C-alpha cells in the first residue's frame, strides 16, 4: 500500500490520467472518426498531454479547493 501522505499526488495522477485520456480520445475521434490513424494519434496525444495535465492538477487543485471553500456555505456547528 502507498502511504497516506501521498494521497493528494496519487489523486492528481489518477484524475489527470482519466481526464486527459477522455479529452484526447474525444478529440481524436472528432478529427479522424473511427479510422486507423485515430488510435495512434490518440496514444501520442495522451502520452504528451498526461504529464502536462498532472502538473496542472498538482498546482491548481489547492487553489480550487480554497476557492470552493470560499464559495460554499459552511455548515452550522452544533
Can you give the residue ranges of every domain in the chain? 14-30+37-67
Strand, coil or helix: 22: helix
Q: What is the pTM of this model?
A: 0.81
> pLDDT tens for residues 25-59?
999 999 999 988 899 999 999 999 999 999 999 99
Average pLDDT value over all residues in the chain: 94
**Confidence at residue 2, expressed as pLDDT on a 0 to 100 scale:** 92
Grid cell digits, residue 31 = 478529427
Cα distance between the two ends of the chain = 37
What pLDDT, on a 0 to 100 scale, did the predictor assign at position 76? Answer: 85
Nearest 5°: the CA angle 7, 8, 12 is 115
Alpha-carbon separation of residue 68 from 42, 62, 63 (angstroms):
33, 10, 9
Amino acid at each position: 500500500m502507498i502511504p497516506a501522505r501521498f494521497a493528494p499526488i496519487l489523486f492528481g495522477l489518477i484524475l489527470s490520467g482519466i481526464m486527459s485520456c477522455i479529452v484526447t480520445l474525444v478529440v481524436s475521434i472528432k478529427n479522424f472518426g473511427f479510422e486507423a490513424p485515430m488510435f495512434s494519434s490518440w496514444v501520442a496525444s495522451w502520452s504528451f498531454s498526461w504529464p502536462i495535465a498532472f502538473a496542472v492538477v498538482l498546482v491548481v487543485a489547492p487553489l480550487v479547493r480554497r476557492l470552493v471553500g470560499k464559495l460554499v456555505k459552511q455548515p452550522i456547528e452544533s
